[in-house]
Amino acid sequence: MRIESITLRELEMRLKSPFETSFGVTQKRRILLVEVIADGVTGWGEVTAGEAPFYNYETTDTAWHIISDFITPRLIGKDFRAAAEMESLVSGIRGHQMAKAGVENALWDIEAQQKNLPLSKLLGGRRSEIACGVSLGIRESPELLVEKVAGELSQGYQRIKLKIKPGKDIDFVAAVRKQFPTIALSVDANSAYTLGDRDHLRRLDEFGLLMIEQPLPWDDIYVHAKLQKQIETAICLDECINHSQHAEAAIELGACRIINVKLGRVGGHTEARRVHDVCEKHSIPVWCGGMLESGVGRAHNVAMSTLANFTLPGDVSASQRYWANDIIEPEVVVTRQGTIRVPDAPGIGYTVRRELVEQLTVKKKHWKAEVMVGA
């Protein structure tokens, strides 16, 4: 595939309702979409960075800068055999996985279309349906949270994840567990605690949680190993795992018993599959995390979730939970059994609604390769 053009845009999209985590509240998303054309085929990727550097250090603006000034110049006009070859061209750029993933995933979409395969199949996925859970933002009161959980369960979702932070944890989890004694339930702290909170965190052990996600600092695997020895609940790492060597280290240290894979956080499908494979080799189950994505990011998440070791329900849920109008057609829908049917059309398998994308675009930049001599 010869990279003929790259278009980067920023979309302004308003979530239906605000989403609160331990690091802040989000309602207006600034989403970057990457559109690549190679050999006349168009592929789409999404940058999953947040608006502020509170989940990890990347932001919408840092990703715009890195893609514009460092990734695009390395790619434009280049010829690849496969999307996985992009990695070596951008490995000199330290970090910035979300920026890289937005571009790399667009190349995967192109490669799948060129091979006339659904992206899930190109990645080696085997599932025709994936299991869905939901991630629920922090609420004002345990009562309101219980109400919200009831609503999601009635939609069929197979696992409920509660966002927690100091002061909004034990009482909230206790109320949900009391009302729903047998559901698959987990919590996500987004690095809001320290090892000094170990006694407090141990109180979660009595609720039979599937896991506690990323309780301790975002960049510290070792401290999670210390905590895992002192609590019964399985730790799942999210923020700490940026590539497959991190996964190896975390598993060897006993820092977690589950890993959440996010395409953006690990730099795209190529590395995500490596993380998946490392975990599979060590019998560590994985699941697909979410970053409040638009339909493009959601479609890539669906494809990745079809790999064999994605044995736990992920955070990939219906478009309608987030957006009044998603930018893909059809939207991502969830069955009454709490599953998403994997599309079998070539590429990401959903159509991007260009007109709507254009309407939502607030900023746009375009790069075009020089026409080849003799072409």
Contacting positions for Mg ion (CB under 5 A): 188, 213, 238
Distance CA 358, CA 6 (A): 16
Task: Give 90 or 247: the residue with its C-beta nearer to Mg ion.
Answer: 247
CB 102 within 8 A of CB 32: yes
Task: Give 114 or 214: the residue with its C-beta nearer to ligand OSB.
Answer: 214
CB 89 within 8 A of CB 78: yes
Paired strand residues for 325: none
* Closest CB 66 distance from ligand OSB, rounded Å: 19
Stretch that binds ligand OSB, among 141-149, 198-206, 228-236, 283-291 (CB under 6 A): 283-291
Stretch that binds ligand OSB, among 8-16, 110-118, 164-172, 286-294 (CB under 6 A): 286-294
Q: Which residue is associated with the tokens 């990323």?
A: 214
| Contacted by 109, from ligand OSB, Mg ion, none: CB < 5 to 8 Å by type | none
HSE, CB side, 13 Å, CA atoms: give it for residue 130. 33
292 is a site residue for ligand OSB (CB under 6 A): yes
Instruction: Decide: helix, strand or coil at residue 108.
Output: helix
314 is a site residue for ligand OSB (CB under 6 A): no
* Closest CB 38 distance from ligand OSB, rounded Å: 29
Task: Give 42 or 214: the residue with its C-beta nearer to ligand OSB.
Answer: 214
The one-character DSSP state at 78 is: -
Q: Is 232 exposed, middle or buried (0-12, 13-18, 19+ CB in 10 A)?
A: exposed
* Closest CB 188 distance from ligand OSB, rounded Å: 5
Task: Give 90 or 98: the residue with its C-beta nearer to ligand OSB.
Answer: 98
Q: Which residue is associated with the tokens 């995500």?
A: 272
Stretch that binds ligand OSB, among 56-64, 103-111, 116-124, 289-297 (CB under 6 A): 289-297
Q: Is 28 exposed, middle or buried (0-12, 13-18, 19+ CB in 10 A)?
A: exposed
CB 94 within 8 A of CB 260: no
Distance CA 137, CA 120 (A): 29
Question: Which position among 188, 304, 327, 328 is part of the footprint of ligand OSB (CB under 6 A)?
Answer: 188
Closest CB to Mg ion belongs to which residue? 238
| Contacted by 315, from Mg ion, ligand OSB, none: CB < 5 to 8 Å by type | ligand OSB
Distance CA 123, CA 88 (A): 19
Catalytic residue among 262, 281, 363, 365: 262
Copy the structure tokens of residue 223.
């401290």
Distance CA 218, CA 224 (A): 10
- Terminal Cα-to-Cα distance of the chain (whole angstroms): 15
Q: Is 43 exposed, middle or buried (0-12, 13-18, 19+ CB in 10 A)?
A: buried
Task: Give 135 or 339: the residue with its C-beta nearer to ligand OSB.
Answer: 135
Question: Can 368 be counted among the known catalytic residues?
Answer: no
Task: Give 105 or 260: the residue with its C-beta nearer to Mg ion.
Answer: 260
Distance CA 297, CA 48 (A): 7
CA angle 177, 301, 307 (to 5 degrees): 90
313 is a site residue for ligand OSB (CB under 6 A): no
242 is a site residue for ligand OSB (CB under 6 A): no
Question: Can 28 be counted among the known catalytic residues?
Answer: no
Task: Give 26 or 72: the residue with its C-beta nearer to ligand OSB.
Answer: 26
CB 105 within 8 A of CB 264: no
Closest CB to ligand OSB belongs to which residue? 290
Return the number of other C-beta atoms located less than 10 Å from residue 298's C-beta.
Answer: 27
Catalytic residue among 100, 161, 163, 165: 163
46 is a site residue for ligand OSB (CB under 6 A): no
Question: Which position among 22, 59, 72, 135 is part of the footprint of ligand OSB (CB under 6 A)?
Answer: 135
43 is a site residue for ligand OSB (CB under 6 A): no
Residues in touch with ligand OSB (CB under 6 A): 21, 55, 135, 188, 190, 238, 289-292, 315, 317
- Residues serving a catalytic function are 163, 262
